[in-house]
Amino acid sequence: MHFILYAFINTLFVILVSPLFVSLIKKVKAFTQGRQGPPIFQTYFMLNKLLSKERVYSVNSSLIMKMTPYINITCMLVASLFVPLLYVPEPVAGIGNVILFLYLMVCAKFFMALAGLDAGSTFGGMGSSREMTVSAVVEPVVIIVFAALGLLMNTSNLHEIFSSSIKSSLVFNPAAILISLSLFIILIVETSRIPVDNPETHLELTMIHEAMILEYSGSDLALMELSHSIKQTLLMAVLINVLMPFGLALEPGITSILLSSVLFILKAVILSVIIGIFEASFAKYRLFRLPSLFMLAFFFSFSTILFELLR
């Protein structure tokens, strides 16, 4: 019963706040470039508009194309149960396992790449091929980073990782700083942000993620966009809960949930501003230079493991 309540609150909160950070990052980028930028609730308006539009499918497309938005959003919502944003619930079997969390993300990515190929357009195929190339390189790094996180906290359960990070203040722990650097790089890579991919263009030379969802329209597109924003919020929440977990409640309660929701939004806003500035201060890397970025994350997580061995 408790867990159902947790699932309801957490999922609702994730869905509600995720679009906010997408447009906030756009706004910050616009400010750094001297533009006004879209309104802060633009993503909500866009999702609302898309939900009432009709869906168009290519004649070449198959069942995959129609299934993928639902698979994507399901994977993301299930994954959202693994990352408590407001309070850490009682442990429930299987929920919170790091490996399962990563594979839910990969499952969504896999179907998105299939859908990119499915419509038969060259853009989609190109996007899928690039996404798979990048994933093949980044996936080992992600595993190493989360392994280092698990080693740091002595558990492979995300809920336990977060509850122990609340108890021991990690801000001045060198290993936590290293792991946050790696998590930040993974956040940038997985949400297709600038040194890796440009989320704003539909130029054929730069797009990876946008190319795969190019064929989608109407409510399908809304679901794809929403699941992408949820993915971003989840990765941001992992970083926030590891580095600055204060405010995350250990017991459910009306006041503690209100307080932690305000604090989470505040922390996520700060992180979004950092992401926006980071994105604005970099140019997109060439595809073949990307591994050096992943290698940095690998290097940092490897040193985290070393730090832990030394302690």
Partner 1 sequence: MNDIIDVFFVLILATAALIITVRTLSSLFNIYSFQSLFIAVVAVVLFFQTGNIVLLLIAILTILSKALLVPYVMRRIQKNMNLKRDVEFRYLTPIGSLLVGTLMIFLVYRSFSTLLSELSYDDLFFFGAVIGLSITLMGMMVIFTRKKVITKIIGYLMMENGILLFSLFIAELPFIIEVLIVIDLVILITLATILAYGIDSTIDDFHSKLNSFTLWFKD
Q: Which of 11, 62, 164, 303 binds partner 1 (CB under 8 A)?
A: 303
Q: Which long-range contacts (CB under 8 A, 24 or more apart) does 88-91 make?
A: 88/159, 88/162, 88/163, 88/166, 88/248, 88/249, 88/250, 89/2, 89/3, 89/6, 89/159, 89/252, 90/2, 90/3, 91/157, 91/159, 91/160
**CB-based contact 185:295 (threshold 8 Å):** no
Beta bridge partners of 157: 97
Does position 285 interact with partner 1 (CB under 8 A)? The reply is no
Among 167, 174, 201, 203, binds partner 1 (CB under 8 A): 174
- Measured from the CB atom, the residue of 111 and 300 that comes closer to partner 1 is 300
Nearer to partner 1, 154 or 292 (CB): 292
Smaller CB separation from partner 1, 218 or 291 = 291
Q: CB under 8 A: which stretch of 8-16, 99-107, 270-278, 294-302 binds partner 1?
A: 294-302
**Residue 302 CB, nearest approach to partner 1 (Å):** 5
Among 6, 101, 146, 300, binds partner 1 (CB under 8 A): 300
Question: Is residue 282 close enough to count as binding partner 1 by CB under 8 A?
Answer: no
Quick one: which of 172, 205, 254, 255 contacts partner 1 (CB under 8 A)?
172
Map residues 176-215 to x or -, x wherever contact with partner 1 holds by CB under 8 A.
-xx--x----------------------------------
The 8-class DSSP code of residue 87 comes to B
* Rounded Cα gap, residues 262 and 33, in angstroms: 29
Half-sphere exposure of 281 toward its Cβ, with a 13 Å CA cutoff?
A: 6
Give how far Cα 188 sits from Cα of 12, 18, 150, 282, Å: 25, 16, 21, 12
Which CB atom, from 6 or from 300, has the smaller least distance to partner 1?
300
286 is an interface residue for partner 1 by CB under 8 A:
no
Q: Least CB distance from residue 111 to partner 1, whole Å?
A: 30
